[in-house]
Amino acid sequence: MILGIIAGIFLNVFTYDVSADDSIVINLFSVVSDLFISALKLVIIPLIFFSIVCGIISLSDDVSLSRLGIKTLSLYLLTTVIAISLGLLFSSFIDYEPILLSNLESDVSIDNIETESNFFPTNIFKSLSNGNIIHLLIFSVLIGIAASKVKDKVKTFVNYFHEFNAVINELVKIIISFTPIAVFCILSKTFATQGLETLTPLMGYFLRSFLYCYFISL
Q: Is residue 214's pLDDT more than 60?
A: yes
| Better-predicted residue by pLDDT, 116 or 51 | 51
Instruction: Give a three-class secondary structure readout of the chain.
Output: CHHHHHHHHHHHHHCCCCCHHHCHHHHHHHHHHHHHHHHHHHHHHHHHHHHHHHHHHCCCCHHHHHHHHHHHHHHHHHHHHHHHHHHHHHHCCCCCCCCCCCCCCCCCCHHHCCCCCCCCCCCHHHHHHHCCHHHHHHHHHHHHHHHHHCCCCCHHHHHHHHHHHHHHHHHHHHHHCCHHHHHHHHHHHHHHHHCHHHHHHHHHHHHHHHHHHHHHHC
Please report the pLDDT score of residue 39 as a whole number. Answer: 92
To the nearest 10 degrees (0 to 180), the angle between helices 133-149 and 155-176 is: 140
Q: State the pLDDT at residue 117.
A: 53
Query: What's the mean pLDDT when you consider all of the chain?
Result: 74
At residue 112, the pLDDT reads 46
Q: Where are the domains of the chain?
A: 2-92+125-195
CA distance 189 to 28: 9
In angstroms, the first-to-last Cα distance of the chain is 27
Tens digits of per-residue pLDDT, 75-93? Answer: 777 887 888 877 777 666 6
Question: Mean of the pLDDT values across residues 61-86?
Answer: 74
The answer to whether the beta carbons of residues 7 and 149 sit under 8 Å apart is no
Residues 13-36: tens digit of each pLDDT: 455 444 544 467 778 878 888 999
Domain 2-92+125-195 class in CATH: mainly alpha
- Cβ(189)–Cβ(8) under 8 Å? yes
For the entire predicted model, the pTM comes to: 0.63
Section 36-51 average pLDDT: 91
CA angle 14, 20, 24 (to 5 degrees): 80
pLDDT digits (tens, 9 = 90+) for 168-192: 999 999 999 988 888 888 777 776 6
